[in-house]
Amino acid sequence: MGVRVFGETPYTWYYVLVCMSCYAVGEIGHFIIGIVSKPLAQDIEFGDKGCISNSSAYNVSEKCTDANYTRCMSLKNQNESYCEWNYLGSGIEYQLLAGPCFIAIFTVTGIIIGVLGDVYNRVRLLSTCVCFYSLMAFLTGWATEYWQLVLLRFGFGAGEAACTPLTSSIVADKFGSQSRGLGMSVFNWGIYIGYGLAFTIGNYVPKSELFNQSWRWAYYLIGIPGFFLAAVLFFTVKEPQRKAIGNNTEKQQENEDAASTLINQPVDNALDKEIETKHTPRKPLSTLWFAIKTFALSPALLVLLLAASIRHTASFCWAYNTQLYFDHYYPGTDLGFWMTLCSIIGGLIGIASGGLISDKVVSKFGVTSRLWVLVISQSIAAPLAALVLYLSPPYCFIALLSAYLFAEMWFGVALTVIVEKVPMHIRSTAVALSAFVISNVGGNAPVAVTSLKGAVGGLRNALYIMYAGFYLLSAVFFLFAQLLMRREKVNKAEESVESIQKNDVVACDS
């Protein structure tokens, strides 16, 4: 048998750790724009302008905040200006660059790559895409015009779009039912490692003025390790054999007799076997169409996508506005330290515990029970997120770390539910379609924050709604999805019993 770690071989975990590392590099590039937006905007010259403190002279940012141009230029101490009128790193140009410019290509390309991943070698596709988005990040460091940033952001999104659909499909094939949730969660560690390191790189590297390159070296430091990881992935990770999750080798279905299987086995496993027998689409367009029909015919999957979209909205509204929030309300806060600490520790523990807990729940109650973990965790996270906005540093970061421990359980569990729910031959496509819906809603929502903050009295109040409020709203819809999945399971069991009874009657008559 050899050494086993959580039921899997060390090489299986090596698979997911390499993919996670590639994803982490991608997520640094994804979120770094929100951290370096001010020096980037001041160098390239785009976005809103306002009064900011000249921190090299005096720590008087509260006097500069919200001052108009005339007032800003008149604020002096011994004939030396301690405020300046400059680009803030915010505004519609920034929000478009951070959100829609990335999401538009990310979601469309994700579907294309997902379909290709159900037909061709996923490891080779993934390593090519990792190399490509690393190149886009490296070249961003050379940009001198806003339109160049837009094009390179498009390219980066196109490359990173491969990570989730391809790796989710690989994890589904490499891991058994008792460890699949944890495996998916370990892969998604890349989100939190990448997000946390984005704050470290984005806050400290520009200030170091390395070779007088300011924010540019932040992008160089994303591209260089990405090239190395792409090579490691290509040469050391093998394409796994595809398998049907619903076959009888799944440990969950062992030791069940025929009668209890009809009533108690998870409906999605039964559906997987049935669909594999009747449909074997191989062409990319057929695969895509079959995946769309699978979602359209499952109310539970549709509600799950809605819940995930709401939850993703909360994440992006906070992620893209974190730096701006603290710069405005608590200038001088060491975000490089606090956000790295909170996001990496809280995110890693949160998502891993979500995977472990859901795996334990599945071993006892079946795969349709995973969503209960999300209903409970997001309900707990919502008031903790509100405390993040209510408290001042450093206490807000204690609340943030606590919120992460519960809030970040969601992503790995949601992806695991999707790959367990759909047939084997459309897994990559199904994950890509899910990412298309979730990212187009959640990824573009931060644009609304700019308008909402004017209507509700500031950025903090807007985040109470779009961040903490959407955590709670997602819990409600995860509950609806859970109940629908349970209903589908019961319906499938009843249909199976009726089918057997009819066959018995026919056999008796003959």
Residues of the chain with pLDDT under 50: 56-58, 246-281
The predicted pLDDT at position 509 comes to 60
Name the nearest CA neighbour of 238 among 504, 53, 14, 460: 14
Any residues with CB less than 8 A from the CB of 446 and at least 6 apart, and which? 95, 98, 99, 316, 317, 320, 321
Check if the beta carbon of residue 63 is closer than 8 Å to that of residue 168. Answer: no
% of the chain exceeding 70 in pLDDT: 86
Any residues with CB less than 8 A from the CB of 438 and at least 6 apart, and which? 305, 308, 309, 312
Q: What is the largest CA-CA distance in the chain?
A: 106
Any residues with CB less than 8 A from the CB of 260 and at least 6 apart, and which? none
How far is residue 74's CA from residue 83's CA, in Å, rounded to a whole number? 9
Q: Which two tokens mark 208? A: 């170091």
The predicted pLDDT at position 503 comes to 65
The predicted pLDDT at position 498 comes to 67
How far is residue 371's CA from residue 358's CA, in Å, rounded to a whole number? 8
Q: For residue 4, what are the β-bridge partners?
A: none
The predicted pLDDT at position 362 comes to 78
The conformation of residue 120, written as its DSSP 8-state character, comes to S
The predicted pLDDT at position 366 comes to 72
The predicted pLDDT at position 413 comes to 85
Residue tagged 């924050």 (tokens): 449
How far is residue 412's CA from residue 492's CA, in Å, rounded to a whole number? 26
The predicted pLDDT at position 428 comes to 84
How far is residue 231's CA from residue 292's CA, in Å, rounded to a whole number? 34
Check if the beta carbon of residue 320 is closer than 8 Å to that of residue 446. Answer: yes
What domains are defined for the chain?
Answer: 10-50+86-239+298-499 (1.20.1250.20)
Q: For residue 76, what are the β-bridge partners?
A: 81
The predicted pLDDT at position 324 comes to 84
49-53 vs 83-87, strand pairing mode: antiparallel
The predicted pLDDT at position 17 comes to 95
The predicted pLDDT at position 397 comes to 96
